[in-house]
Amino acid sequence: MKHPVHPMLVHFPIATWFLATIADIVSLFTNEQIGWIGGVLLVVGTITALLAMTTGLIELGKIDQHSPAIKIANQHMILIMISWSFYAVSLFLRLNGTQLEQPGLLAISFSIAGFIFLCSAGWMEGKLVYEYGVGIYHNKA
**Binding piece for ligand HEM, criterion CB under 6 A, among 35-43, 46-54, 86-94, 104-112:** 46-54
CB 33 within 8 A of CB 18: no
Between helices 11-27 and 34-62, what is the axis angle to 10°? 150
| 60 is a site residue for ligand HEM (CB under 6 A) | yes
Nearer to ligand HEM, 52 or 107 (CB): 52
Instruction: Count residues binding ligand HEM (CB under 6 A).
Output: 23
CB 55 within 8 A of CB 6: yes
Q: What is the DSSP string of 21-49?
A: HHHHHHHTS--STHHHHHHHHHHHHHHHH
Residue from 42, 73, 100, 107 touching ligand HEM (CB under 6 A): that is 73
| 135 is a site residue for ligand HEM (CB under 6 A) | yes
Alpha helical stretches, state H, 63-104:
69-93
Residues near ligand HEM (CB under 6 A) = 4, 6-7, 10, 13-14, 49, 52-53, 56-57, 59-60, 63, 73, 76-77, 80, 125, 128-129, 134-135
